[in-house]
Amino acid sequence: MHLDNENDSEDIEVRLLLEAIFLKYGSDFRSYSRLSVKRQILKMVKDQNLGNISELQHKMIWDELFFKSILPKFSINVTEHFRDPSFYKAFRNDVVPFLRTYPSLKIWHAGCATGEEVYSMAILLEEENLYEKTQIYATDINIKALEIAKGGKYLSRNLSTCSENYLKSGGKKSFSEYISVQDMDFIMDKKLKKNILFIDHNLAVDETFVEAHVILCRNVLIYFNEVLTRRVIKLFYDSLQKHGFLCMGLRESIMRSANKEHFKYLNRDGKIYRKVPSESFNRMVK
Amino acid sequence: MNVSTSGFEGIVIGGSAGSISPLCAILSALPSDFSIPIAVALHRSSGGVEFHKALGSPEMALKIYEPNDRDPFVAGKVFLAPADYHMLVDKDKTICLSTSDMTNYARPSIDELFETAADCFGKKLIGIILSGASRDGSDGLMKIKAKGGLTIVQNPLKADGETMIRSAMETTNIDYLYSPEQIGRFLKDLDKGSATL
């Protein structure tokens, strides 16, 4: 039997740190994927030149300013315009035809981070003549990220990636038509913001607030543990219209046994699912 | 799935520039019933079409597989870190994907895979560093060694990129320095129980 004391100690430290943060500040990361959180914490320890997680805990508990400065590092906000172009292509081909049949549309973008993918969807809808009848609810737990999303201002040096992704996603014009460049930054066109509401929402505790035709939640659930993941899938199920669409990250599968009867694939590679209306959903959640 | 008689429960391989052909050489030596799970992290651009073609060679009995988050890490296929994701191994032997910041300027990062696999498998892990032009992987290999795992590097004299290998050799007292063909044969024999450590 291989005993691994150092490792066990680290896992204990992670648990204690998360508990301490919750007790002191109310921020709750205890239902996050333990391994991902641990990696983030170990990076903080390294960046701060500390010896171990316990030292980090000491600093976090006794120095509120320090805690506030490091808090955003717990949430992962890596994103870009038209991230995974193949997803947008699949959405255009397979979901848009259904969306044409509704008189008005509600789209919930859960975990929108700094908003790049929300504007990407707005552009896609605009090009498919669907934007006018759409209301997008873009939510995140990270207030600072939401502020950036609201501003719609991004770094010009990423423009070439944006344009490249846009074209690969099946864009019909040129990305530059949707922005104005100001030196180091570019700003999203005002008309794209018109039908987007950015809202502070916590998937771990908040309830459903919309009956959406489409929910996008890409690369968020990979940071949640099994229990929280189940809660969120249920939340999405309850927040979708009868045959609504759920779009996940390209490497996220919700088709574990418990979800099989509640969602079906619309596009397997694009990880686009469709709700299967059922009375039995409550059985799925303990 | 069979449990390997070798006592090893995982193999992790890392590489960067010039690592595709040695990786193919290693994997081509392994039979379809190779019983130790294999995870590979290579630095790659997010496009990856060329990359897939190069890796999907018909001589390979094991299929290359880009996992979904939470897939069980099992034998029978080669788990390749998807472009733009860190691939980690959790203690319950499932794959955990992350889009967190780059580590050593890379995503996927070799250290992220190696360090988490070392936590999961301890001395039952083999870490292999191939050709590459960065220092990513050195910390991970060091951790594998510290936990009692087996460490192998590609012979730098015949590698396209020496930096990654030399860096690993500086930080870790490497167990074996082999050509890709030797690594392939070694792993195959090890799994059959006919290799001597």
b (16+ CB within 10 A) / e for B51-86 = beeebeeeebebebebbbbbbebebbbbbbbbbbbb
Q: Do A36 and B124 touch (CB under 8 A)?
A: no
Spell out which residues of chain A touch residue B86, defining contact as CB-CB under 8 Å. 39
Name every chain B residue with its beta carbon within 8 A of the beta carbon of A268.
none
What pLDDT score was predicted for residue B2? 47
pLDDT at B166 over 50: yes
For the segment B13-38, the average pLDDT, to the nearest whole number, is 94
- CA-based nearest residue to A132, from A142, A145, A141, A122: A122
Looking at chain A, which residue has its C-alpha nearest residue B81? A251
**pLDDT for res B71:** 96
Q: Are residues A67 and A202 in the same domain?
A: no
Tell me the helices (H) and strands (E) count for chain B, helix number first.
6, 9
Per-residue confidence (pLDDT) for residue A113, from 0 to 100 = 95
Distance from the Cα of A277 to chain B's closest Cα (Å) equals: 26
Question: In which band, very low, low, confident or very high, does the pLDDT at A256 lie, cut at 50, 70 and 90?
Answer: confident
> Please, where are the H alpha helices in B9-103?
20-28, 49-55
Taking an 8 Å cut-off on Cβ atoms, the answer to whether B123 and A2 are in contact is: yes
Closest residue of chain A to B86, computed from CA coordinates: A36
A35 contacts chain B (CB < 8 A) = yes
Q: What is the ipTM for the molecules in this complex?
A: 0.87
Q: Given a cut of 50, is residue B46 above it in pLDDT?
A: no
Q: Do B116 and A39 count as a contact with CB atoms less than 8 A apart?
A: yes
Residue A140 belongs to a domain: yes
A96 and A23 share one domain: no
Helix axes B180-192, B20-28, angle to 10 degrees: 30
Q: Are B67 and B79 in contact (CB under 8 A)?
A: yes
Nearest by CB to B99, which of A78, A221, A256?
A78
- CB B141 within 8 Å of CB B171: yes
**Most A CBs within 10 Å: which of B52, B98, B147, as the mutation test of the A interface?**
B98
Beta-bridge partners for A199: A139
Q: How far is CA B19 from CA A166, A256, B26, B134, in A?
A: 31, 35, 11, 12
- pLDDT per position as a tens digit, A139-148: 999 888 999 9
Q: Tell me the mean pLDDT in the region B107-120.
A: 97
- Percent of all residues in chain A with a pLDDT value above 90, rounded to a whole number: 86
Residue in B4, B109, B136, B138 annotated catalytic = B136
**pLDDT at residue A6, as a whole number:** 59
CB contact under 8 A, A35 and B90: yes
Is A91 in the same domain as A37?
Answer: no
pLDDT of B148 over the 80 cut: yes
Query: Which chain B residues are within 8 Å of A86, Cβ to Cβ?
Result: none
Indicate if the pLDDT at residue A280 is higher than 90: no
**In percent, how much of chain B has pLDDT > 90?**
78
Asked if residue A219 belongs to a domain, the reply is yes
How close A75 comes to chain B (CA, Å)? 9
> Is A164 a member of any domain?
yes
Which residues neighbour B163 within 8 Å (Cβ) at sequence distance 6 or greater?
A: B132, B133, B134, B135
* Cα distances (Å, whole numbers) of residue A122 to A117, A126, A247, B32, B130: 9, 6, 15, 47, 44
Average pLDDT over chain B, rounded to an integer:
91
- At residue A49, the pLDDT reads 96
What is the reported pLDDT for A5? 56
Domain final position from A50, A74, A98 = A74
Instruction: Report the pLDDT value the prediction gives residue B1, as an integer from 0 to 100.
Output: 44
Average pLDDT on A128-135 reads 98
Chain A interface test: which of B99, B103, B121, B139 (most A C-beta within 10 Å): B99
CATH number, domain with residue A254: 3.40.50.150
Give domain status of residue A80, yes or no. no
Q: How confident is the model at residue A18 (pLDDT cuts 50, 70, 90)?
A: very high
Question: How far is residue A163's CA from residue A147's CA, in Å, rounded to a whole number?
Answer: 24
Q: Tell me, yes or no, if B138 is annotated catalytic.
A: no
Judgement on whether residues A33 and A90 belong to the same structural domain of the protein: no
Q: Let me know if residue A79 belongs to a domain.
A: no
Q: What is the mean pLDDT of residues B111-125?
A: 97
- Find, among A190, A214, A196, A189, the residue nearest to A273 by Cα: A214
Query: Which residue pairs, CB below 8 angstroms and at least 24 apart, start in A273-281?
Result: A273/A245, A273/A246, A273/A247, A273/A248, A274/A243, A274/A244, A274/A245, A274/A246, A275/A237, A275/A240, A275/A241, A275/A242, A275/A243, A275/A244, A275/A245, A275/A246, A277/A242, A277/A243, A281/A234, A281/A237, A281/A238
Q: What is the pLDDT of residue A72?
A: 85
Q: Map tokens 């038209």 to a residue.
A: A82
Query: Residue A275's closest CA among A138, A98, A137?
Result: A98
Q: What is the number of CB-based contacts under 8 A between chain A and chain B?
A: 62
> pLDDT, tens digit, for every residue of A97-121?
999 999 999 999 999 999 999 999 9
B86 included as an active-site residue: no
- A44 domain residue, yes or no: yes
A-chain residue closest to B115, CA distance = A39
Nearest CA to A185 among A212, A143, A155? A155
Interface of A with B in 206-245 (CB under 8 A): 219, 221-223
The answer to whether residues A41 and A171 belong to one domain is: no
Residues from chain B that touch A221, judged by Cβ atoms under 8 A, are: 69
Q: For residue A76, what pLDDT is reported?
A: 83
B100 given a catalytic annotation: no
Neighbours of A184 (CB within 10 A): 10
Reported confidence tier of residue B8, pLDDT bands at 50, 70, 90 = very high
| Chain A residue with the nearest C-alpha to that of B149 | A2
**Judgement on whether residues A34 and A158 belong to the same structural domain of the protein:** no
At A79 the pLDDT is 92
Q: Which residue of A has its CA nearest to B125?
A: A2
**Mean pLDDT lowest for which of B46-60, B104-118, B178-192?**
B46-60
Q: What Rg do the C-alpha atoms of chain B give, in angstroms?
A: 15
Q: Which of B52, B68, B91, B121 to substitute to test the interface with A, most A CBs within 10 Å?
A: B68
Same domain, A59 and A174: no
Instruction: Tell whether the model's pLDDT for residue B54 goes beyond 80.
Output: no
Give the residue carrying structure tokens 């500086």.
B170
Residues A49 and A101 in one domain: no
Domain shared by A223 and A165, yes or no: yes
User: What is the number of domains present in chain A?
Assistant: 2
Domain stops at, among A74, A95, A130: A74
Residues A147 and A188 in one domain: yes
Q: Which helix (H) or strand (E) holds B65?
A: strand B63-65
- Quick check: B68 and A7 CB within 8 A? no
| Nearest-CA distance B158 → chain A (Å) | 34
User: For residue A251, what are its two tokens?
Assistant: 């490497």
Say yes or no: A93 and A235 in one domain.
yes
CB contact under 8 A, A253 and B123: no
**A66 plus A90 within the same structural domain:** no
Under the banding of pLDDT at 50, 70 and 90, the label for residue A255 is confident
Tell which phi-psi region holds residue A140, choosing left (phi > 0), alpha (psi between -120 and 50) or beta.
beta
| pLDDT, position B194 | 76
- The residue of chain A nearest to residue B90, with distances taken between CA atoms, is A35
Provide mean pLDDT across the span B82-103.
Answer: 94
Domain residues for the domain of A188 are 85-284
* Three-class SS of A220-246: CHHHECHHHHHHHHHHHHHHEEEEEEE
Say if residue B195's pLDDT is above 80.
Answer: no
Relative orientation angle of helices A34-47 and A5-25, to the nearest 10 degrees:
90
Kindly list the structural domains of chain B, giving each domain's residue range(s) and its CATH number in brackets, ordered by start: 10-192 (3.40.50.180)
